[in-house]
Chains A and B, each alone.
Chain A
Amino acid sequence: MGLEESTFRDVVCTVCGCCCDHLEVTVKEDTVVKVKNACAMSTSKLLNYMNERIMKPMIRRRGRLSGCSYRDAVDAAAKILLKSRSPLLYGWSLTSCEAVEVGVELAEEVGGFIDNTTSTCHGPTILGVHEIGESSSTLGEVRHRADLIIYWGCNPIHAHPLHMSRYTLLSKGRFRKSRSERTLIVVDVRRTDTAKMADMFIQVEPNKDYELISALRAAVRGDEIEQDEVGGVPTDLIEEVAEMLISCDFGALFFGLGLTMSPGKSENVDAALSLVRDLNSKTKFVIIPMRGHFNVNGANNVMTWMTGYPYAIDFTRGFPYYNPGETSAVDLLARGECDSALIVASDPVSNFPYKATCNLTSIPLITIDPHITPTVLCSDVVFPSALVGIETSGTVYRMDGVPLVARKLVEPPRNIRSDIEILRDILRRYRNLKRLGR
């Protein structure tokens, strides 16, 4: 990592849930100068990660954020947590599993809530899995075997740009060599760019996914559908699709927020999981959620092995308790139940509903983030952190649960620490203060 140019191969990308691991990144003088094999989102991140960085810890004094020593920031953060009765620790999807592990330990120690961004994206997916289970596979299985691919309520061309070429439609597998051996069905409320590539595009009326999936389930089971159309889709077409689903050798259904965040939420996912389960009595079918952030799946996994639950965990009783809707971040904040918050690698101020954001910004707020975000600007204590997969290494989980190590490529700016280090220091300081009874 000196002055000479060096190229890293097989670099794991840290943008979306695809976690592509075939990037080539050239580094010179501790700066990324060239990126190969990556999508536009990934290239942009790798070449511009130094924009809008926070360069030193900050504390709010007399209403203004001003620079301070790292030690003072750790001390201030620990004191906020010590004073508070029900702190919320939120974020976690854009950092490493190792950092999440320390985060869970901190949440337990302070007796607070810990939630990750799942609660605002694929939370309903997990609720569906609690009810139905899921018939799933790794992405390589789809690449090798799938002759029928469905994208439902998601637009991979823009949100997961290499998904199709690496894992599905355009990939070359052992048993499926080319595009012509696969059929693509896209279901969406509008003709997206992904839909333009489809062999069949089905335009569902907004908020009618549940009805359409249920009709498909009925058709797959051979039941007669009495209506002429369901969710804006003619019954003949539904029956045709059902026939395609049954007669494929290996089908794969990918779904996104179009299903999880439209009315019905977990019920939509419940129906989709049930459809795929039913199809397995006729052929082979798998379902895979299109997870957004590169390590949202890792955050779910770490929380699950440490506490039994994937998100929205309440430690206020001394043991893990889980009830999304009650213990999830937005709901806690909207009800004003938290008296402080620690945000790691996330920007809830930009994303949360107005009432939740109002409450979030009215309580003592600690943020750990590499970049300047609205959440950072509203915080009382700010820690700049190193970017996982660029300035520090860490384990991340792909959307199908394949764990990968995102490597360090360059040195972080001077005095900028990793999330793990910062969290450990806060935890240590918190324990010390508690022992001293302050």
Chain B
Amino acid sequence: MSREIAILNGTVFDPTNRIFGERMDIFVKDGKIVGSASSKAQRIDASGKVVMPGGVDIHSHIAGSKVNSGRLLRPEDHRKDVEVKTPTTHSGVGYSIPSTYTTGYRYAKMGYTTVFEPATPPLKTRHTHEELDSTPIIDKGCFPLFGNNWFVMEYLRDGKVEECATYVAWMLKALKGYAIKIVDPGGVEVWGWGKFLRHLDEKVTHFNVTPREIIRGLCKVNRLLNLPHPIHVHTNNLGNPGNYTTTIETMDTVRDMANGSKPIVHITHVQFTGFSGSSWLNLGSGAPEIAEYVNKHGHVSVDLGQIIFGDTTTMTADGPFQYFLHMLTDNKWVNMDVEVETGSGIVPFQYKRSNYVNAIQWGIGLELALLIKDPWRVFMTTDHPNGGPFTYYPRVIAWLMSRKARERTLSKINRTARRRLTLPSIDREYTLEEIATITRAAPARSLGLKNKGHFGLGADADIAVYDINPSDMDVLRRKPAKLRRAFGQACYTIKNGAVVVRDGKILKSPFGRTFYVESQTKPEIESNLLRSIETRFRDYYTVGIENYQINESYLRYPAKVRCEAEI
């Protein structure tokens, strides 16, 4: 039996196919977008409503060992936000770190259908997959961490880029990972000794390699392997005043490798690395400088890491930063260093409007979104849960679309911060097509997901219908609460051709797929490499190589993305 759906008379936003608010019908058959449907199709009347592809979140910490440590750390986070079991949903808890079922449901209710977990310690990636498999509805994937990996640092120190590429290709295949994630390159290894690393050209203790060499090396590796997504970088110096220069330096360090207009480096949660000034007292926004750089250079894309005022749980693979945050706040702190590869830290945090630094941070995120001209290279995230829970996306959308929404918040934030931000003078208001770009089309393109984020024939039938009448946009901009409600509760979410949400209620919850890449290098190169790492594996790890690898059959619904390696 074929499943057919006809979404009729909606106002469609599909920036990939240059459809900007046209009144048209969308047809679905067997989980794909098709050109027409039979009379038996389920009809959905979308007149007076906006139809967009399902949302794609490029960076959201939803699964894996540090997310679960965060859940374990904070029963107080769960008590204030519970979901009761219903005939169609499991129960769950969690405000900033929801349990797995709740995560899937809440994304689907907002019309999001694809989410990527952006930091998985390779040794614990099996855990990440277990949680992703327990998260319903959404399609997903994960980015293994490479920026402090001993093998990578040794290959790059010795100038063995091709060996490094072969190793990375093998790792992605062995772990079922999707992209190269770099967090505080070199800095987390140094944190293994409780020390800090501050500059791009500072040598990593015992490894004789610099963060700059790691970033450049992995960028070359990414190109040799033709991976669908560029290197995904959390820069050094995150959270330190003046770190916007590190961000620009990091972007610039790979400029000469640019290949046409396609971004080759993605700087993530750039708000956290967008601080100007030399101390907390004169902290300012580095957003104008970063935006200027991004506007001039096509080889970079960024996502926001927008903060939301209120309570949340910060968690990153950047162990030293989390320690710093613990010392700053005196809040409870989890640290977890992972042998050979990475570390992580967790600290609960409260962003306060009245706090000067937090108010500046809030401004930096929005300034970046509004000052970067090309919506195809800036994606909306809160770096969930670091800037705030993903459930606050509608609020971010409202800030971007409505000057009035921004002014309302501006009027309540720290006065000195307000004076020092550029934000009050920015008039730009995002249009619906720009929102559709930064929340679905652009992240899908950046991830190289050809069938996501658009309505071309044959694309995955992941669709969100929102109760927004585009002809009322002027009214909505004056009443941002309505905008927030509309984006917070999709009228319909269709995932893989099935209606999973109607009027903000979950109707059913099938499980989505897990994407991973396979960039096949030449078999003889791979077997040579395997021989060489096998001998070192037991010396480096406390587990054997056989037990390290994850079979495809371990994943519930694996979806392999193939690419051609140049080696």
Where the two chains meet, the residues of A that have a C-beta atom closer than 8 Å to any C-beta of B are 9-10, 12, 21-22, 97, 101, 105, 108, 126, 129-141, 143-145, 166-167, 172, 174-175, 249-250, 277, 280-281, 283-286, 300-302, 304-310, 315, 317-320, 322, 395, 397, 401-405
Contact = CB atoms under 8 A, between A and B. Distances in A.
A308 B194 contact: no
B310 interface: no
A318 B85 contact: yes
Contact of B92 (A281, A284, A319): A319
A22 B544 CA distance: 7
Interface in B70-114: 71-75, 78, 82-85, 90-94, 97-101
22 contacts: A10-B547, A21-B543, A21-B544, A22-B538, A126-B72, A130-B74, A133-B334, A137-B337, A140-B123, A145-B193, A167-B542, A300-B72, A301-B127, A305-B68, A305-B100, A306-B101, A307-B93, A308-B78, A315-B85, A319-B85, A319-B91, A320-B91
Given A130-B75, A140-B340, A143-B339, A283 B194 contact: yes
The 9 closest A-B pairs by CB, nearest first: A140-B339, A284-B194, A308-B93, A137-B337, A133-B332, A308-B78, A10-B544, A403-B126, A140-B542
A141 B335 contact: no
A166 B131 contact: no
A152 B539 CA distance: 28
Given A10-B547, A130-B75, A132-B332, A305 B134 contact: yes
A284 B99 contact: no
Nearest to A126: B72
A318 B92 CA distance: 9
A141 B339 contact: yes
A172 B547 CA distance: 20
A239 to B, nearest CB: 22
B557 interface: no
B338 interface: yes
Interface string B314-345: 00000000010011000011111111100100
Nearest to B91: A319
Interface string B189-219: 0001110000000000010000000000000
Contacts of B280: none
Given A140-B339, A145-B192, A306 B134 contact: yes
B216 to A, nearest CB: 25
Contact of A404 (B71, B332, B538, B547): B547
Interface in B286-329: 323, 326-327
A308 B346 contact: no
Interface of B is mostly: mixed
Given A10-B544, A305-B131, A309-B75, A284 B193 contact: yes
Given A140-B542, A397-B127, 15 more contacts: A21-B547, A134-B334, A137-B336, A138-B123, A138-B542, A174-B540, A280-B335, A283-B194, A284-B192, A308-B71, A309-B75, A315-B85, A320-B82, A320-B99, A401-B69
B520 interface: no
Contact of A135 (B134, B333, B547): B333
Given A133-B334, A140-B541, A12 B93 contact: no
Contacts of A143: 339, 542
Given A97-B130, A138-B123, A320-B93, A129 B73 contact: yes
B524 interface: no
Contact of B91 (A108, A174, A285, A405): A108
A307 B99 CA distance: 6
Contacts of A319: 82-85, 91-93
A21 B546 CA distance: 10
A306 B194 contact: no
Contacts of B194: 250, 280, 283-285
Contacts of A322: 75, 78
Contacts of B124: 401-403
Nearest to B191: A284
Contacts of A401: 65, 69, 124, 127, 336
Contacts of B99: 304-308, 320
A170 B339 CA distance: 17
A87 B346 CA distance: 35
